[in-house]
Amino acid sequence: MQPKLFGTDGIRGTPGQEPLTPGSIRKIAAGYANLIRKIAHGKKNPSVVLGKDTRASCAMIEQAIAAGLTDVGVDVQLLGVLPTAAVACLTKHLKADGGIMISASHNPAEENGIKFFTQNGEKLSEKEEAFVENSLGARAERSRKGTVKAFAKAEAEYLAFLVESAGRPKLAGLNVVVDAANGTAYRAAGVFASLGAAATLINNKPDGSNINKDCGALNPQQLQKEVIATKASCGIAFDGDSDRLIMVDEKGNVINGDAIILALAKGMLRRGSLSNNAVVVTEYTNTAFDDELALAGVKTVRVQNGDKHVYAEMRKHGYSLGGEQSGHIIMGNNTAGDGILAAIHILALLKESGLPFSKLAEFTKKPQALINVEVKEKRELSSLSLTSAAIAEAEKQLPRLKGRSLIRYSGTQNMLRIMLEGNGKEEIKRLAEEIAAAAKKEIGA
């Protein structure tokens, strides 16, 4: 039986190894072509926009995707290096039949991935992913071979969209430090300066191998130091494809997605733009978030992990704000997490309120322990005697601590993600560490 290609967010792997070999990529591209042709009611020569991040391996993958698409009659527009949200946006704006982003997001430079979008700029549903997998190797009728053209205005049109979508805020007087993670934000981050903020850019010199390396949303230590050294209003950190936003307040404290979404929700509530007085989050969001919003009369809706699940719930019920603790934030009519857009909105709130960022993002959380364990294989947890025993012990203690647990394998990396939350910081930490130690012993890489 063929293993499932798609994980939590598209296809991930090591370039040159299955499924990211030139031959397999061409087959995947052709399978995707069959999907968008079906959605476009049999259109013989559909069009696809194709973007990428700054990894060296993107060149090989881009070439293989373009070859696979054009061979079955699809016309391709190359967007160059752009954030994932820009590809989703331009898919709709250019009226393409589909969009593809080459990126492994927050993963290390030696890994890569492929994200797929429908003509509406939406990530594929599980049903659509299955259709692509079942179409691998299937030939499609074509009227002619597809073409490949570069779209030179891609970045300019995306930046214009950002500014207009955020309402052209005037950010003069704010001093910000922006960590581009040597990824797709390395030029786009300049939008903050264009709106009047004094912006210092760091980690904005990608070389193909330094994306996310000791920088960006997952490694904000340099940003913290820079914010303190420059006495900045705040710090802004993106990941490799800029769909995540993590921030740093003026005191150097890291502000995660929960606090950012909470600040955005309160601001949108004041302006009357929070549709249905509800916010969509995932299982990882701290439960104190629900309590805080409930005081303002706002409902918290929870879905399973993954920003595509957040978006699906937003679309289904017409909600205007949703996101993840990791920093994926979806606003308004957008179809994917856009870290740059969310950051512009936060800076507008900061300017409008006149408060220091530490006050704007103030949020008293319940103690939460998050540990990622790198694993060599993803075996059923129930088959691991030490790990399952540690989990059982933790779950026995959690009711007393008014807590909860969420323990699962990552859909994008060989990681076991352990999250425990509850009253008693030290005990929660100890229980999480015991589970992690057991997992390392049994399946640690």
Please say if the pLDDT value at position 299 is more than 60: yes
pTM of the entire predicted model? 0.91
Q: Average pLDDT for residues 243-270, to the nearest whole number?
A: 97
Please say if the pLDDT value at position 291 is more than 70: yes
Q: What residues are labeled active site?
A: 105
Residue 329's closest CA among 341, 317, 316, 312? 341
Q: Is residue 161 part of a domain?
A: no
Residues 196 and 295 both lie in one domain: yes
CATH of the domain at 62: 3.40.120.10
Residues 333 and 186 both lie in one domain: yes
- Decide which of 219 and 4 is more confident: 219
Residues 211 and 301 both lie in one domain: yes
Q: Is residue 354 part of a domain?
A: yes
Residues 277 and 324 both lie in one domain: yes
Please say if the pLDDT value at position 261 is more than 90: yes
pLDDT tens, position by position, 383-440: 999 999 999 999 999 999 999 999 999 887 899 999 999 999 999 999 999 999 999 9
Looking at every residue in the chain, the average pLDDT score rounds to 95
Residues 237 and 354 both lie in one domain: yes
* Residue 142: per-residue pLDDT: 75
pLDDT tens, position by position, 365-381: 999 999 999 999 999 99
* Residue 294: per-residue pLDDT: 96
* Residue 1: per-residue pLDDT: 35
Q: Which of 310, 337, 360 is the last residue of a domain?
A: 360
Residues 334 and 383 both lie in one domain: no
Count up the domains in the chain and report the number. 3
Q: Average pLDDT for residues 109-127, to the nearest whole number?
A: 96
Neighbour count for residue 340 (Cβ, 10 Å): 26
DSSP 8-class letter at 243: -
Q: Is residue 147 part of a domain?
A: yes
CA distance 186 to 83: 10
Q: Average pLDDT for residues 166-174, to the nearest whole number?
A: 95
Residues 50 and 174 both lie in one domain: no
Please say if the pLDDT value at position 42 is more than 90: no
DSSP for 3-16 reads: PP--BTTBEEE-TT
Residues 245 and 326 both lie in one domain: yes
| Upper half-sphere CA count for residue 350 (Cβ side, 13 Å) | 27
* Residue 3: per-residue pLDDT: 53
pLDDT tens, position by position, 275-288: 999 999 999 999 99
- Residue 252 belongs to domain spanning: 167-360
Residues 324 and 175 both lie in one domain: yes
Residues 119 and 215 both lie in one domain: no
Residues 227 and 307 both lie in one domain: yes
Q: Which of 360, 395, 413 is the last residue of a domain?
A: 360
Q: What percent of the chain has pLDDT over 90?
A: 93
Please say if the pLDDT value at position 2 is more than 70: no
CA distance 33 to 44: 10
Least confident of 45-59, 63-77, 398-412: 398-412
Q: Average pLDDT for residues 344-365, to the nearest whole number?
A: 96
**Residue 194, SS3 per DSSP:** helix
Q: Which residue bears the tokens 């694993």?
A: 375
CATH of the domain at 388: 3.30.310.50
DSSP for 343-401 reads: HHHHHHHHHHH---HHHHT---PPPEEEEEEEBS----GGG-HHHHHHHHHHHHHTTTT
Residues 329 and 356 both lie in one domain: yes
Least confident of 1-10, 24-33, 192-201, 286-295: 1-10
* Residue 137: per-residue pLDDT: 74
* Residue 8: per-residue pLDDT: 81
Q: Is residue 4 part of a domain?
A: no
Q: Which of 152, 181, 206 is the last residue of a domain?
A: 152
Please say if the pLDDT value at position 58 is more than 70: yes
Q: Which residue bears the tokens 């039949």?
A: 97
CA distance 47 to 80: 16
Q: Is residue 31 part of a domain?
A: yes
